[in-house]
Amino acid sequence: MSWSEIALVVLGALAVGLLLAWRGASRLDRLHRKVAASRIALDAQLVRRASAAVELAASGALDPASAILVADAAYAASDAGPVTSPAAALKMDGLGADRERAESGLTATLREALGAPEAIRVLLDGPSGEVVAGLSAAWYRATLARRFHNEAVAQARRVRRLRHVRMFHLAGRAPMPRTVELDDALPHALEPNGG
């Protein structure tokens, strides 16, 4: 084999390596964008859930003490720092501990205020049934959005753990995405197929 043939083989291998690195970096970039988009969608769904909780508190369906607790928890969740720009979503740091704690607090407060499944069914069948159904739908969408976000984070993390991605630093300076861990379990009576 002459030196020109060796040079051709080395150039071919280098071209293939660069192509694979470019494809890997592009895939990782798409996954990071998916994480950012799912975080923005999750934030929007959590804001809708808090808004629906405030609407429930103002509807008169709950006793006054429960209504005040639900409204306070909903305002605390809303004030805990929603994602306001795509640049903030690109941090990939989840929602932050304060926001996750506030959202979990809203969930616990709502479950306590709504009470037992029989009480929820009475609320659904009563004059405020539309408000409770709206809360149920917003709550369910927020739960799904969190699951989709966490799955996107898991996909990005799996790709970032690959040996060639780490070896060639294909993630660049992008931070490692974090999952969002909060209590968002719906009461059984509010689940789409559980009531």
What are the pLDDT digits (tens) for 141-165? 999 999 999 999 999 999 999 988 8
Q: How many domains does the chain have?
A: 1
Residue 170 lies in a domain: yes
Mean pLDDT of the chain: 90
Q: What is the mean pLDDT of residues 54-79?
A: 94
Token readout for 161 is: 């753990």
Residue 25 lies in a domain: yes
Q: Output the CA angle 103-107-113, nearest 5 degrees.
A: 140
Residue 141 lies in a domain: yes
Q: 143 Cβ partners below 8 Å, 6+ apart? A: 184, 185, 186
Whether residue 84 has pLDDT greater than 60: no
Residue 95 lies in a domain: yes
Token readout for 35 is: 């994480």
pLDDT for the residue numbered 95: 84
Average the pLDDT over each of 17-21, 56-60, 61-65, 111-115 and give the range with the smallest value. Answer: 17-21
pLDDT for the residue numbered 80: 81
Whether residue 31 has pLDDT greater than 90: yes
Residue 176 lies in a domain: yes
**Range(s) of the domain holding residue 68:** 3-190
Tell me the C-alpha distance between 193 and 195, whole Å: 6
E strand or H helix at 14, and its extent? helix 3-59
194 confidence band (pLDDT: 50, 70, 90): low
pLDDT for the residue numbered 114: 92
148 conformational bin, left if phi > 0, alpha if psi -120 to 50, beta if neither: alpha
DSSP string spanning 103-160?
Answer: HHHHHHHHHHHH-SHHHHHHHHHSTTHHHHHHHHHHHHHHHHHHHHHHHHHHHHHHHH
Q: Are 186 and 143 in contact (CB under 8 A)?
A: yes
Residue 117 lies in a domain: yes
- State the residue for tokens 């379990």: 185
Average the pLDDT over each of 15-19, 49-53, 177-181 and give the range with the smallest value. Answer: 15-19
Residue 22 lies in a domain: yes
pLDDT for the residue numbered 90: 62
Q: What is the pLDDT of residues 109-121, one digit of tens each?
A: 999 999 889 989 9
82 confidence band (pLDDT: 50, 70, 90): low
pLDDT for the residue numbered 88: 66
Residue 195 lies in a domain: no
